[in-house]
Amino acid sequence: MLFLLEEDKKRVLNLLKTAKGQVEGIIRMVEEDRYCVDISKQILSAQALLKKANLMTIDQHIRHCVQEAFKKGNGEEKINEVIELIDKYAK
């Protein structure tokens, strides 16, 4: 269940679309045999956008989905989901 607020949804979509554009640009750079360091910098930039979009999504999940689950008495399940996310994020 997605609970992104409309404003946050727009921000996440903007970040993802920007990252998509960057990835498409990176693909062109590789196809054109561009300088490796320039490609790497662009990859890092795209990763940063994806990381920010992911953190915004997790933030909204905690603020809405987890909070709602606690109100309904099944918060433990949502806590486990967040712990799994943190575990994947930390690797």
Kindly report the pTM of this predicted structure. Answer: 0.82
pLDDT at res. 28: 98
CB atoms within 10 A of CB 11: 15
Q: Which two tokens stand for residue 57?
A: 């999504």
Token pair 């498409």 is at which residue? Answer: 24
Q: Residues 14-49: pLDDT tens digits?
A: 999 999 999 999 999 999 999 999 999 999 999 999
Q: Residues 3-20: pLDDT tens digits?
A: 667 888 899 999 999 999
Q: Which two tokens stand for residue 25?
A: 């640009």
Element (H, E) at 7: helix 6-31
What residue segments make up the domains of the chain, in order of their start?
A: 6-90
Question: 6-90: what fold?
Answer: Methane Monooxygenase Hydroxylase; Chain G, domain 1 (1.20.58)
